[in-house]
């Protein structure tokens, strides 16, 4: 919702009914409830993007009851710009609602030159979060993630840094992302010994990318840790965009590393068959793809990106039909296998 101040500038006033229709799921065995759908700022929030569009998306998200905003130090482009733009939007619109928000950021990928701007050292993680807080203009994040495993830094150092970040009051909870089952188990044991609230594992998960089902979800359940899924639409494959091929100007047409023409041509028949199931369910393919992930009890939330407010509203309608018959699940398995 919007109201005008005396100067005619539109100010943001959150919808009073924002909590009426969103589903909230407990995150592992923690006290945290996350919205079933969360908003990720990986794309569409950098300096190359119109900030007013990003502002509109975040306003729409909160009005829908989406309380969880997910960032990382290197989101942009350029690196850091998504956090900086978020800080600008937060200051204008969301400062009064800070205690209703669950804000995340991460560090683990290449961020600045030299030996201390990457991976999982104590030096990098603490320095990165200090920079992130400054860019966003907030005193703490609700959760801070190590973004990917570091094969060379001892896990005790990385987890110890996360523990100290919580003790310093810079994060309330910690998480990890992209870790396999074995390293996740080790991380959980270390953090438990340090009495640090490890509540979330952020993992890539979609109908086309089911690696989390090979041990990770069981490991999370065993340790009382929730899962939050990213790339649920396989970077756009699981939408109606590519049902008839590759549109000009689409991600696949640009042959990006995470989605290229070969991905589409290899999977187009599967996409079309999945779309038929979605239509029979009264859903768009993207909505069914989100619902399909949320059927897993370990999954607390699904992270979606959005290029517009309307796209976000469309994705949120996935919550209107979360149930699957055994026949539907078997047919989906047969198509994607």
Whole-number pLDDT of residue 6? 47
**Which CATH number goes with the domain that contains 223?**
3.20.20.100
Burial of 101 (0-12, 13-18, 19+ CB in 10 A): middle
State residue 8's pLDDT score.
46
Top pLDDT among 243 and 101 is at 101
pLDDT band at 4 (very low <50, low <70, confident <90, very high): low
Predicted confidence at residue 7, as pLDDT, reads: 42
Strands 198-204 and 171-177: parallel
| Interval 292-296 mean pLDDT | 98
pLDDT at 260 over 80: no
For 239-249, how does the pLDDT look when each residue is reduced to its tens digit (9 = 90+)?
998 887 777 77
User: Which of these, 225, 235, 178, lies nearest to 204 by C-alpha position?
Assistant: 178
- Look up the domain containing 76 and give its range: 18-242+288-324
Domain membership of residue 253 (yes or no) is: no
Q: What is the pTM of this model?
A: 0.94
What is the percent of the chain where pLDDT is above 70?
Answer: 96
What was the pLDDT predicted at 266?
Answer: 87
**Is residue 333 domain-resident?**
no
Q: For 159-214, what is each residue's pLDDT tens digit?
A: 999 999 999 999 999 999 999 999 999 999 999 999 999 999 999 999 999 999 99
330 by Cβ neighbours in 10 Å (0-12 / 13-18 / 19+) ranks as exposed
Structure confidence at residue 31 as a pLDDT band (50, 70, 90): very high
Quick check: is 1 in a domain?
no
What mean pLDDT do residues 48-73 have? 98
What pLDDT was estimated at residue 2?
54
What are the tens digits of pLDDT across the range 72-88? 999 999 999 999 999 99
* Distance (Å, whole) CA 117 – CA 144: 17
Q: 266 lies in a domain?
A: no
Structural domain count of the chain? 1
Average pLDDT, the chain: 95
Given a cut of 50, whether residue 5 has pLDDT beyond it is: no
């Amino acid at each position: 919702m919007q109201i005008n101040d005396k100067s005619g500038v539109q100010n943001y006033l959150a919808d009073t009914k924002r909590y009426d229709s969103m589903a909230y799921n407990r995150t592992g065995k923690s006290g945290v409830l996350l919205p079933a759908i969360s908003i990720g700022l990986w794309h569409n929030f950098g300096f190359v993007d119109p900030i007013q569009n990003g502002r509109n998306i975040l306003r729409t998200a909160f009005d829908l009851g989406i309380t969880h905003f997910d960032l990382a130090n290197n989101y942009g482009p350029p690196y850091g710009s998504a956090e900086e733009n978020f800080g600008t939007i937060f200051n204008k619109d969301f400062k009064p609602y800070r205690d209703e928000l669950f804000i995340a950021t991460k560090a683990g990928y290449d961020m600045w030159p030299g030996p201390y701007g990457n991976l999982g050292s104590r030096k990098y993680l603490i320095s990165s979060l200090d920079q992130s807080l400054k860019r966003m203009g907030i005193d703490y994040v609700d959760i801070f993630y190590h973004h990917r495993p570091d094969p060379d830094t001892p896990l005790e150092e990385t987890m110890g840094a996360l523990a100290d970040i919580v003790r310093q009051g810079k994060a309330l909870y910690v998480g990890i992302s992209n870790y396999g089952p074995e390293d996740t188990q080790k991380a959980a044991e270390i953090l438990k010994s340090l009495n640090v609230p490890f509540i979330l594992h952020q993992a890539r998960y979609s109908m086309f990318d089911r690696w989390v089902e090979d041990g990770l979800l069981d490991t999370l359940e065993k340790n009382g840790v929730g899962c939050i899924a990213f790339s649920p639409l396989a970077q756009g494959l699981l939408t109606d965009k590519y049902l008839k091929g590759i549109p000009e100007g689409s991600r696949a047409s640009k042959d990006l590393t995470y989605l290229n023409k070969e991905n589409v041509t290899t999977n187009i028949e599967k996409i079309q068959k999945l779309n038929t199931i979605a239509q029979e369910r009264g859903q768009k393919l993207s909505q069914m793809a989100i619902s399909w992930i949320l059927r897993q009890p370990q999954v607390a939330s699904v992270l979606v990106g959005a290029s517009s407010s309307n796209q976000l509203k469309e994705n949120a309608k996935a919550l209107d039909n979360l149930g699957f018959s055994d026949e539907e699940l078997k047919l989906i398995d047969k198509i994607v296998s």
